[in-house]
């Protein structure tokens, strides 16, 4: 927590301040083009390994923002090799209060056209080779993930995108696949039958870990293509995806600026801020001290 973000009365060190500090997870060029005041690039270490790269911190409209490029500088890390635990841990160590993810997604519905934005509200997780939890043997925890998205933050993000001219769909189920290959036609059709609306490779376990870290999380997906369920069309073409991504880049930057302007002056308390209140199952006497030390940022509020 930074000194200028504290009120005159010193709060509990583990309680969030009533000032916003938004963490943005997105593309590598997003922070450079958004127009941050007092921008600084900082390397932050995590006990969970190497994050995707340094963070860029600064202010927009007087509010603190921290940016992290999910795939690293120059998009060097594939989605199945991202250290999601380190990324969320680093944002927590920076004092972030809430996280907005900006991600490219494929569409599984005709009405969700390339160029549109989707404020996701549910997930189906098909990833298999990633660190899905900060907790483990020696310190077991179970957080509620029935509603994985923070509705108030999602609405603020959707409204900001609309304000800058984007076509926004509120609500949608995101199918998280392992990648890095795109889905087969059979898989794409199956995902549609399951009720998924969009597909991507990065939102899980990102959203799971944000909940364990007591960080309200929202995802604004940018539709780049129709997935391979349309029989009359060729499969997913990376060149077309990149073209739409570049076209959407300015809208993404404008959305972040509009979000900064739309946030209420004071950040209200959020139930997700206390997601770990009843989540720890392991008795204090049986807890692994080394794991507890690694969780000093993520779970320090409940570990003491």
- Given the residues 225, 273, 288, 296, the one annotated as active site: 225
What is the number of alpha carbons within 13 Å of residue 125 lying toward its C-beta?
17
207: enclosing H helix or E strand: helix 203-212
Residue 32 annotated as catalytic: no
- Given the residues 227, 254, 273, 296, the one annotated as active site: 227
Residue 225 annotated as catalytic: yes
Cite the active site residues: 225, 227
């Amino acid at each position: 927590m930074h000194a200028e973000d504290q009120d005159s009365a010193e709060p509990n060190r583990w309680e969030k301040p009533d000032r916003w500090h938004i963490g943005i997870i997105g593309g590598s060029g997003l922070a450079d083009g958004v127009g941050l005041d007092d921008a600084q690039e900082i390397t932050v270490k995590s006990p969970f390994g190497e994050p995707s790269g340094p963070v860029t911190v600064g202010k927009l409209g007087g509010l603190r923002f921290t940016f992290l490029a999910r795939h690293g500088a120059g998009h060097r890390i594939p989605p199945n090799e991202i250290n999601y635990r380190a990324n969320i841990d680093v944002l927590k160590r920076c004092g972030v209060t809430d996280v907005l993810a900006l991600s490219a997604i494929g569409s599984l519905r005709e009405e969700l056209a390339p160029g549109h934005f989707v404020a996701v509200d549910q997930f189906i997780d098909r990833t298999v080779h990633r660190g899905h939890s900060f907790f483990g043997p020696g310190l077991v925890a179970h957080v509620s993930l029935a509603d994985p998205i923070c509705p108030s933050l999602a609405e603020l993000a959707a409204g900001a995108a609309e304000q800058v001219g984007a076509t926004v769909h509120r609500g949608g189920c995101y199918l998280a696949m392992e990648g890095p290959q795109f889905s087969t036609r059979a898989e794409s059709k199956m995902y549609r039958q399951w009720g998924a609306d969009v597909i991507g490779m990065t939102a899980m376990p990102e959203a799971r870990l944000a909940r364990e870290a007591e960080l309200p999380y929202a995802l604004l997906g940018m539709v780049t293509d129709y997935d391979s369920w349309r029989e009359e069309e060729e499969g997913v073409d990376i060149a077309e995806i990149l073209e739409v991504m570049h076209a959407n880049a300015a809208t993404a930057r404008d959305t972040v600026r509009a979000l900064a302007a739309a946030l209420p002056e004071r950040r209200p308390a959020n139930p997700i801020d206390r997601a770990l209140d009843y989540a720890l199952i392991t008795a204090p006497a049986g807890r692994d001290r080394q794991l507890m030390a690694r969780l000093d940022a993520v779970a320090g509020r409940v570990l003491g």
